[in-house]
Amino acid sequence: MHIRHQINWIKLLVVCLLCLLTLAEEHSNHTSVCPGYQASQISSSPHGLKALLTINGTPCDIYGNDIEELVLTVALDFTNYLRVHIEDVAGKQYQIPNSVIQLNKNSRMAYAQHNSLDFSHSHDNKSGFGFKVLRGNDIIFDTVGHPLIFEDQYIEITSSLPENANIYGIGETPNWFRRDPNNTIMTLWNRDAPDPFRDNVYGSHTVYMELRENGHFHGAYLHNSHGMDIVLHNNTIQYRVLGGTADFYFFSGPTALDVISQYTELVGRPSRIPYWSLGFHNCRYGYKSAHEVNEVIASYAQAKIPLEVAWTDIDYMDRERDFTFNPSNFSLQEMRAQLDYLHAHDQKMILIIDPAIQFNSTYGTYARGHSQNVFIKNADGSEYIGQVWPGYTTFPDWFAVNTSSWWNDELRRYYAALPIDGMWIDMNEASSFCTGSCGSGKPKDEVPRLPWTMDNPPPPRPLDKSNRILVPPYAIHNPEMELSTKTIETTAVHANGVIEYHVHNLYGYMESKLTYDFMTSYRRNKRAFLLSRSTFAGSGALVSHWTGDNWSTWHDLHVSIATVFDFGIFGIPMVGADICGFIGNATEELCARWIELGAFYPFSRVHNSIDMKSQEIYRWNTVAEAGRRALAVRYALLPYIYSCYQEAVEHGWPVARPLIFEFSTIQETVDNDRQLLLGDSILISPVLIQGARSVDAFFPEGWWYDWYNFSLVSGTNANVTLDAPLEHVNVHIRAGRIIPTQHAGMTTTETRSSDYTLIVAADKQGTAVGKLYVDDGETFDTPSRWLDVNFSDRSLWICSRSGNYEIQRPLSKLVLLGILGVRAVTVNGIAVNSVIEVTSGSTIVTGLNVDLNREIRIALL
């Protein structure tokens, strides 16, 4: 970067910091006059507490009307979390209904004999009621000294934080993984925006985790669908919410994985995915024909680069209308032929749909929906009409009684025409290109030109600043002109009488729910693969996610790691960024480095935008070679990655993890978002700097083995400079772990048909542990099997922990890292005629034929 650019960036950062400090100071002065509340009528029980909260003086009414009587409910029903709910006595404030998100739906938590968290409250004359949540002697949430503000359109709750706190989570916002504790405003208001740094984008997640000095994590989640700012400043975390109630859940940890497990137990565990979705995916916006997509599929095969799924963006549609096919370039006949070809080669097809439905009486999907009254309305009862790709559009109202049956019927017609393998729902914030119901009064067959080429765009509707729903008194830090910009207007009305203001952030979640329910009922007992751009708490139980419209820059390459980590906290482990970037023209070097990282995103897909330079992985020789090498590692690791994903299903644990999750007492890991772990055992150290041919990788204390040549790095909680030629990504195996692998094929089917290899990475004590999960990878009611694998005293023990799935392929190879002196091998006491090779301080044993369905002891003699 040039010096002048560096100076400009520094000036910009200083200005932003001064603005933030000024806003924080003004806000603090504004709210300091608020009296808080006083608790009375307190009743306690072994499972919690209940109290009446009454305004403690003259209402301040700073952003609305103070609600003078509230109900406090504290529930300690479960061992690992505590609920604090503050709501209005009258029950008029909007709350997320159980019919939309049912918390604890499949909870297996036992009711608490003793909760690991505790609650206390106090009162002072200045700030009124305050409360603390404690874990032993550790205060993890503390509002004492900060007045509670509870108004009809504004709630403010502030908790003290330790100095320089380690906070993770809250979003969706492209940001560094560790949030700046003194200069962060996280805005939660779903919007269609091309991944601007530190601004709100497609989803809303209020959950956060904090790491304390003792290496222990805890977490908190606010169950509220309104727009809000969550502000980290002056050693506090402050919630500024545009309505609803203060419904908090606190999680005791103490590990990062414990917090995520406790959170996903509450909102929903991640969904089970089909095995094939862990393969490599290709897409772009701008393919001109099915023939061009066919050429791309063939080119991957010719380049010997694995391709699992071919995606097509809105290009395949007839005039960008859902559930249609362009008769000229993507005819249904051609699409069926393409699908048949893919299936014959063990590959898959996924297509996109958007929620916006063209406002056109001759369009069957709209006509059927209109007759069933399924679209969102204006206040006068007319259909709300925005503008998206197909022109003027209506938007399904997921609250309307007929929407589910109508949506199912449209999807059923679509799947009957072309039985694709998965679905991609985009633009579901929901996105609209105009502000307000710009199509009201237009003929139903009028199709305007796209907004960026429109000669006479619809004039912006007048903004009524006196309308507190359009312009709330407190302005959250949404960068758009108003909350309704580029989305459904906040005054739009749903069938249950609720206005969009209260439920905007739920729109994408509700579309995901109906679509997932269709996919799992239409193909009974088949796991669905559903990708959604907009997400909310609990979306991981329904969908996978990609990080949206990122940019082909080195900055976005780096930030992608932090965003993947964020979604691990949010309970959506199947996540990835568009490899090589969506917007802009990726250079050869950037694309090579990106596929080296992206090959290890849980969801691995290259994708770019229309009119941009093509960036399929085979386009450059160096990128092709980098892709072959990195994807060969990914495909070999599929048994391990799938086992990690099953742990996500069972426990909520993320697949891609930051080092801090595993090494929480090492200070150097608290802000490391330059490397990632797959599970707890595979360390990826990508190059993130243009022109670099080495990488400074942090290695926690212990042994780490190079994936490729088995060389040993002895970690000392310090950086090690590693060679990183353009076509190479550094991958290391953590000592003390056993990694199940298979021979990398061109598809997941080919890979799964090969024999197993166990990589035994011995630690300094000569021990290692591992596990393997196996099922059919397709159905819900499949038999399954968990294997535990342990190595000690030069013996490898393999036993079934649970399940009776019949594992088809044998164990034929051992890679024994750090183990020498092997002269012979026995299996259950019987000598086997194996081939033993010594290389790079390690031993490779081949020629085994071990049945993994029975108890096994392999002894090294």
Q: How far apart are CA 266 and CA 448, in angstroms?
A: 45
Cα 611 vs. chain centroid, distance in angstroms?
A: 28
Interhelix angle 403-417/364-371, rounded to 10 degrees, is 160
Q: Identify any residues that bridge with 530 across adjacent strands, giving them in sequence order.
A: 423
Distance of CA 587 to the CA centre of its chain: 27
CA dist 318 and 513 (Å) reads 26
C-alpha span between 706 and 760 (Å, rounded) = 13
| Measured distance CA(187)–CA(350) in Å, rounded | 32
Query: Catalytic: which of 151, 195, 429, 596?
Result: 429
**Integer Cα distance of 412 and 422 in angstroms:** 13
Active site residue 151: no
Catalytic residue among 426, 500, 616, 727: 426
Q: Bridge-partner residues for 469, per DSSP?
A: none
Q: Residue 488 in contact with residue 384, Cβ under 8 Å?
A: yes
In angstroms, rounded to a whole number, what is the distance separating the alpha carbons of residues 533 and 513?
Answer: 13
Q: Which two tokens stand for residue 340?
A: 């048949």
Token pair in block for residue 648: 């996500």
- The β-bridge partners of 771 are 788
Contacts of 810 (CB under 8 A, 6+ apart): 755, 756, 848, 849, 850, 851, 852
Q: How does DSSP classify residue 536? A: -
Tell me which H or E stretch contains 641.
helix 638-651
What dihedral do alpha carbons 201, 202, 207, 211 form, nearest 10°? -50
141 in Cβ contact with 578 (< 8 Å): no
Ramachandran angles phi, psi of 89, nearest 5°: -60, -40
578-579/604-606 β-pairing? parallel
Task: Show the beta-strand stretches assigned E in 275-341.
Answer: 280-282, 309-312
313 is catalytic: no
From residue 628, give the alpha-carbon distance in Å to each of 95, 288, 301, 609, 624.
50, 27, 11, 23, 6
Contact between residue 351 and residue 316 where contact means Cβ atoms under 8 Å apart: yes
Both structure tokens of 768 = 């290692």
- Cα(669)–Cα(684) distance, integer angstroms: 14
Question: How far apart are the C-alpha atoms of 6 and 556, rounded to whole Å?
Answer: 18
Query: Which one is catalytic: 199, 210, 247, 549?
Result: 549
> Residue 396: how many CA atoms within 13 Å on its side-chain side?
32
Alpha-helix runs per DSSP H in 424-552? 500-503, 507-522
Is residue 429 part of the annotated active site? The answer reads: yes
Q: By three-state DSSP, how is residue 156 classified?
A: strand
User: 441 burial class (0-12, 13-18, 19+ CB within 10 angstroms)?
Assistant: exposed
Provide the annotated active-site residues: 426, 429, 549
